[in-house]
Every structure is written in structure tokens, then in C-alpha cells.
Amino acid sequence: MNVPVNGKEDTVKILVTVKRVTDADSIIEIKPDGSGIDLSGIQFTINPFDEIAVEEGVRIREAHGGTLTVVSIGSENCQNEIRRALAMGADRGILITAPGELDSDTAARILVKVVEKEQPDIILMGKQAIDLDDNQVAQLLAEYLRWGQACFATRIELTGNKVVVDREVDGGIEVVEVILPCVISAELRLNKPRHIPLPAIFKANKKQIDMFSVSELDIDTAPKVIVQNLEVPAKPKLCYILETVSDLLEVLKKNGITT
């Protein structure tokens, strides 16, 4: 880069969030009491949008130098997803252990504490997690930090102390420019995550993961969003595949609908 970042020439400090989510191919079942999802026997993986954010972080680090740290919030099992991100090329990981499911606001406030300690130049996040589909954490985090943000990025170009981002909007592409430090959320078309070779997986097992409890961060973890109950959607009503108008009229007649 042409302009120093964090006092260092040609380097950038990147922080990427990694969420542990249920595999998209898993069969989801609700607990009998409707209190949540039955996770027994479910496979887990990195949120696909976060994986794209990790890939972009690796590409930026390869082009400009610096460091790439990934952070996850959840149970100790999240180390598996952090290790995958490390195998993709991240330098180190941070795990904030927290009990139960966190809402978007709590997750954002936890990340504020991580950012205050790590002092990154760029925060990369998936635009949303495929489990809750909230699409809120990146925006909340940018607001709490009072940083610029660019959501739904399909192209990222880092030049000096600014980032030019192509982002998807209704009807086309919008080009925005944000000054470092900033928060950027990744869209599906930003990139295609790399294949991870076996040696990289072995190497990732030796990389550092710093673990902290959410209780050490001195924040209120009381959720602002509480899920009261879950239920399976009602089965769709019977539909008909008809070939002629006469068939349509006959169906309407049988169902008491007159024309």
C-alpha cells in the first residue's frame, strides 16, 4: 500500500469472523417441546459466507502483507471451524467461549471487545449466517465502533488507507469507498474459497488459538431477541397440474369456486 496502516508500511491487520453453523445438507428437526433445534447427530461447518470472507482476507494478506486473525464465538467445538480457517491461510485464531445461542446484538458487542484488543484495520465478515439468516452483526458492529462499512461486497480493492468495494444492490452494482479502519461483509460472488491441501491441515493444528470466556469481557450478555417457540411449517395445500381450461373449471367447481 502507498499509505502506512497502523504505522507500518505495506502491511494490513485483518480480522475475520468465523461462525459454526449446521451443515446445509443436514436434516433439521425441532425438539419435541419446540424450544429449539435438536442438534444430536448434526454435522457442523464454517458459515459459507464467513469462509468467503476468510478467503478474501488471505488474498488481501498475500497481496499487501500483514496478519490475518480469525475469531469465533461459541462452544469449544468452534475450534474445528477455526482450524479450517487456519488451514486456509489465517495466521492465528481467537475463540470467545459463550454458553447457548447468542443474538446478533450480543455477538456484535462481544466483537467490539475483541476489536478493541486486536486493533485491526479491516474486519471481514460473511453478510449473514445460514442458520439464523439475520444479516445484522456487521452493521451493528460498525455502528458500535463508529467505523465505515460496506455490506454485500462482490469485489474488494485495497489502496493506501482506503478500500473500494463493489456491492450488490437492487438492480445492479454500487461502488463505495471507505476509509480504514472499516467493516466489510462478503457476498456469495466475492470469490471461491480455495481447496485446502492435506499439509495445510496438519500445519493448522500447530497454529495458535487464544481462548477467552465471555465472562472476562465485562459486557451484558442478556439477549435482546428471545426465541419463544419453534414449529414446523404447515404442509402446503394440494396443488394441481392441469392441461386445459376445462380441467381448471372442473377443479374450481369441485372446490365450490364459481366463475
3-state SS track over 158-190 = EECCEEEEEEEECCEEEEEEEECCEEEEECHHH
Mean pLDDT of 94-102: 88
pLDDT at site 258: 67
Mean pLDDT of 57-64: 94
Alpha-carbon torsion 6, 8, 10, 11, what sign?
A: negative
Length of the chain: 259
Q: Cα separation of 242 and 168, whole Å?
A: 39
Q: What is the pLDDT of residues 39-48, one digit of tens each?
A: 777 888 899 9
Q: Cα separation of 149 and 22, whole Å?
A: 28
Q: At residue 65, does pLDDT exceed 60?
A: yes
Q: At residue 18, does pLDDT exceed 50?
A: yes
Q: What is the pLDDT of residues 146-167, one digit of tens each?
A: 999 999 999 999 988 999 999 9
At 138, the pLDDT band (50, 70, 90 cuts) reads very high
Query: What residues contact residue 1 under an 8 Å CB cut-off, 6+ apart?
Result: 9, 10, 11, 12, 64, 158, 159, 160, 161
Domains in the chain with CATH codes: 12-231 (3.40.50.620)
Q: Cα separation of 156 and 148, whole Å?
A: 14
Select from 99, 118, 138, 123 the least CA-distant residue to 221. 99
Query: Among 77-81, 172-176, 183-187, 250-254, which is the least confidently predicted range?
Result: 250-254
CB 194 within 8 A of CB 55: yes
pLDDT at site 34: 77
pLDDT at site 7: 46
Q: At residue 2, does pLDDT exceed 60?
A: no
At 30, the pLDDT band (50, 70, 90 cuts) reads confident
pLDDT at site 133: 78
Q: Which helix (H) or strand (E) holds 204?
A: helix 198-204
- pTM (2 decimals)? 0.81
Measured CA distances, 211 to 37, 71, 96, 166, 238 (Å): 26, 10, 6, 35, 52
Q: Which helix (H) or strand (E) holds 232?
A: none
Q: At residue 251, does pLDDT exceed 60?
A: yes
pLDDT at site 6: 46
Most confident of 125-129, 170-174, 179-183, 232-236: 179-183
